[in-house]
Amino acid sequence: MDDQTRMMTGLTGLGGLQQADVDPDSVRKQQSLGQPQQDIGDILQQIMAITDESLDEAQARCWPEESPAHWGGSDDPTEGGRAGGGMAGGGLPLNFQHRKHALNCHRMKPALFSVLCEIKEKTVLSIRGVQEEDPPDPQIMRLDNMLLAEGVSGPEKGGGSAAAAAAAAAAGGSPTDSSIEHSDYRAKLAQIRQIYHSELEKYEQACSEFTNHVMNLLREQSRTRPISPKEIERMVAIIHRKFSSIQMQLKQSTCEAVMILRSRFLDARRKRRNFNKQATEVLNEYFYSHLSNPYPSEEAKEELAKKCGITVSQVSNWFGNKRIRYKKNIGKFQEEANLYAVKTAVDAANVSAQASQANSPATPNSGGYPAPCYTPDGRL
């Protein structure tokens, strides 16, 4: 069904409008008779008065007493029915009601309507093809993706993105510290999320309200001038586009807020925190008990990381630093090495005592130091 037919289908149901009445020739004939010329002036004036009314007036007025079916659109009661519900004409100035009634019952109305239809057909032809199916805005897609990735839009996932969790995990320091930072970040992100969603909801509500206003107005006007469903669709699309540009601003500022939060969080992470005593002890124990080959395997690193509440790469950093610093100044670390050697020996003794076995635990470096520090490939 093309535009014109749709438009006309939409119009055929107009209250009291008969096809026979809309012969353009009859208009011209009547115009030439003098009296009808005044009629045309009247009716035009009335139309102007109605089209001058404010949106609020139109919205408040709701649906006319007669059948709303003349709009030619859906007869879904939910669609625009809200305004049309039980307030037909209520609360409006009497003169307005009179004017409207006079206009609708005017004997010239069908003729005028048909003239308007004719003009419309021409203009519809000329504007056809102007409307385009606009593709999804790449910028808004980018914003959407980022908001989704940051956990602002999309389903709630315990607050915070995977990136945030990783950042928190890498924050180092005691587990308590990192969890404090993490929860702080999560709380702030949740706040941003909440603001974003409430604003979005507000915009969506405003959009649908405004769309209803405009649709009601157009429906009302469709009684006095031809308006095709296609036109209403286009108008709705224009409104939606306007509101989506407002939404984009919201998304943009939300993204900005998240970026600021993240950069602050990362700055905090950048601040070096010394590992806690227990973590350093665990790492040193491993280092001095494997002094002949202080290169923990991936599995050993993972276990150490777990024990110390730090990441595997932090374990790697620690061993890297430790090896080089130990090698550079073995003398300085002698005391520390002794301490841990004793510690290891005592622990081992405890273990064997518990197992009621007198056998030596045979730790790689039990008692022995300072062992030369070799790299895995034999380098010194």
Binding site for DNA (CB under 7 A): 170, 172, 270-275, 280, 295, 298, 310, 314, 316-321, 323-325, 327, 332, 375-377, 379
Q: Return the number of the residue (157 or 270) whose C-beta is nearest DNA.
A: 270
Q: Return the number of the residue (132 or 298) whose C-beta is nearest DNA.
A: 298
Nearest distance in Å: CB 342, DNA:
19
Nearest distance in Å: CB 193, DNA:
27
Q: How many CB atoms lie within 10 A of CB 348?
A: 17
Q: Return the number of the residue (362 or 380) whose C-beta is nearest DNA.
A: 380
Compute the C-alpha angle 212/220/239, nearest 5°. Answer: 35
Residue 324: which of 258, 277, 380 has the closest Cα? 380
In total, the chain counts a number of residues equal to 380
Q: Report residue 360 CA to chain centroid gap.
A: 64
Q: Report residue 262 CA to chain centroid gap.
A: 18
Nearest distance in Å: CB 324, DNA:
5
Burial pattern 211-241, b for ≥16 Cβ within 10 A else e, equals bbbbbbbbbbbbbbbbbbbbbbeebbeebee
- Give rounded-to-5 percent helix, strand, coil for the chain: 70, 0, 30
272-281: long-range contacts, CB 8 A cutoff, minimum separation 24: 272/172, 273/171, 273/172, 273/173, 273/174, 273/177, 274/173, 275/172, 275/173, 275/174, 275/308, 275/310, 275/314, 275/318, 276/173, 276/174, 276/309, 278/308, 279/174, 279/307, 279/308, 279/309, 279/310
Q: Return the number of the residue (288 or 318) whose C-beta is nearest DNA.
A: 318
Nearest distance in Å: CB 80, DNA:
59
Radius of gyration (C-alpha) of the chain in whole angstroms? 40
Q: Return the number of the residue (242 or 325) whose C-beta is nearest DNA.
A: 325
Nearest distance in Å: CB 135, DNA:
37
Nearest distance in Å: CB 375, DNA:
4
Nearest distance in Å: CB 163, DNA:
14
Q: Return the number of the residue (122 or 270) whose C-beta is nearest DNA.
A: 270
Q: Return the number of the residue (17 or 308) whose C-beta is nearest DNA.
A: 308
Q: Return the number of the residue (26 or 280) whose C-beta is nearest DNA.
A: 280
Nearest distance in Å: CB 192, DNA:
25
